[in-house]
Amino acid sequence: MLRPLEGPQNRPSEVTVRLRLFAVAAAAALLSGCATLPEGAVEAAPLVCPAGSEGCDPIQPVGPGGTVSMDMGNFFFDITDQFLVTGAVDVTVTNVSDAYHNAQFLGAADGSDIPEAEGQETGTGTVLLFPGEWTVICTVPGHRAAGMETTVTVYASEEEAEAARAAAEESAGAM
């Protein structure tokens, strides 16, 4: 009589699974090992080559992005929707004053625009934003100090942004 073997057919698959898990972990470690994230970055495209080397693109935020509109004037920013999502955010600035202003997102990824507009005009630009809290300023000398500075929060996903929006609406309604 043959005795049933002690499940030898199960062992290889167990080992295979472990090897696969190890390979995944090793790949993740390799990818994250050479990525340098800008301050405030939570999530970013992994680099597969050393930052700054030839053919290695600068690290960019990964996400759906979106659109945001803001008014600017002497000397303020007024952003009604501050629940931005990481990625390429198309910014529309409406200048409600007679003087030139712009809106620089400090710390935005390489390749970002600085949306700007002459007096009583509208401008657009695309800003590449990692998740985090960012400061927006007008770069015209003296304007930041006079009040043209605000902060915006960039969320890692649509879901997080929606949750934050809902929470803000709820607390506003409770007042």
Gap between the terminal Cα atoms of the chain: 81
Helix (H) or strand (E) holding 39: none
98 or 162: CB nearest Cu ion:
98
Is there a contact between 75 and 145 (Cβ–Cβ < 8 Å)? no
Closest residue by beta carbon to Cu ion: 138
69 or 74: CB nearest Cu ion:
74
Q: How far apart are CA 1 and CA 13, in angstroms?
A: 27
Beta-carbon count within 10 A of 66 CB: 19
Q: Residue 96, interface with Cu ion (CB under 5 A)?
A: no
Which residue from 37, 39, 130 is spatially nearest to 85, judged by alpha carbons? 130
Q: Say which residues have a Cβ less than 8 Å from residue 40's Cβ, sequence separation at least 6.
A: 107, 130, 131, 132, 133, 134
To Cu ion, the closest distance from the beta carbon of 59 in angstroms equals 30
Q: Residue 88, interface with Cu ion (CB under 5 A)?
A: no
Contacts to Cu ion from residues 124-143, by CB under 5 A: 138, 140, 143
Q: Residue 103, interface with Cu ion (CB under 5 A)?
A: no
Q: Residue 101, interface with Cu ion (CB under 5 A)?
A: yes
Question: What track of x and - describes contact with Cu ion for positions 44 through 83 (by CB under 5 A)?
Answer: ----------------------------------------
Contacts to Cu ion from residues 139-168, by CB under 5 A: 140, 143, 148
Contacts with Cu ion: how many residues (CB under 5 A)? Answer: 5
Q: Residue 114, interface with Cu ion (CB under 5 A)?
A: no
To Cu ion, the closest distance from the beta carbon of 95 in angstroms equals 9
**Residue carrying the six token digits 């915006």:** 152
Beta-carbon count within 10 A of 91 CB: 25
Binding site residues, Cu ion, CB under 5 A: 101, 138, 140, 143, 148
